[in-house]
Amino acid sequence: MATQTVTKVDKRSEAELVTQTGESWVYSETVKDHFFNPRNLLLEMPNPNEYDGIGMVGSPACGDMMKIWIKVDHKTEKIADMKWQTFGCGSAIASTSMMSVMLTENGGMAIEDALKLRPQDIMTRLDGLPTRKVHCSVLGDKALRKAVNDYFRKTDQHDRILVEGAKIVDKVLNITDHDIEEAVLDGAHDLEAVQAKTKVGTGDPACLPEVEQLIRYYMEKYFG
């Protein structure tokens, strides 16, 4: 009987495991393809004047880092080319590889449309990501916005620069809504977990209702 039980457990499908644990942990074939065969990866540093915009997020000292370069067709304002480098995991590599394909396929994506690209759109094209790796699809998205802003600055289109200001939530510790967002993306999905990462509310408990509202907002935004 014991042997039969072990055999039965071994033969459970991945779908059954996802259902029972409540979390997807399996990499899709598309993710693995873009990890082992990354598209538009830049192996050497380019000439500074070769690209119209450069964007970088993160730091290798504290985790994933992403840097991307974009070329823009100035007549059509479509992204003619995008190259990238990353210091990150397989999910970050696959996500950015797929994003580069989405931006440059079919003659290139218009800048206005590129700025509307969401992490969920990238994950859909990848046939999903493990829940704990969702934040990896956000990395390239943020780097892209910085590269587009860099293009706007270089072409004197300052009125089009996207300003993503942070709001201070905890006025004692100067913790912002962006800090809460990063904590949620890093796996903190309730108030206790967010407090463990940020210490938010320990000096300013009056901010906790707003923090809980932000957690619900970012959970819905990134995890549906």
Q: Which of the residues are catalytic?
A: 62, 136
Task: Report residue 19 as tokens.
Answer: 């259902």
From residue 4, alpha-carbon distances to 1, 11, 20, 123 in Å are 5, 11, 20, 38
Integer Cα distance of 202 and 199 in angstroms = 6
Residue 49 and residue 154 in contact, taking contact as beta carbons nearer than 8 Å: no
From residue 83, alpha-carbon distances to 25, 103, 145 in Å are 28, 11, 14
Question: Residue 77 CB: number of other CB atoms within 10 A?
Answer: 16
Integer Cα distance of 102 and 106 in angstroms = 9
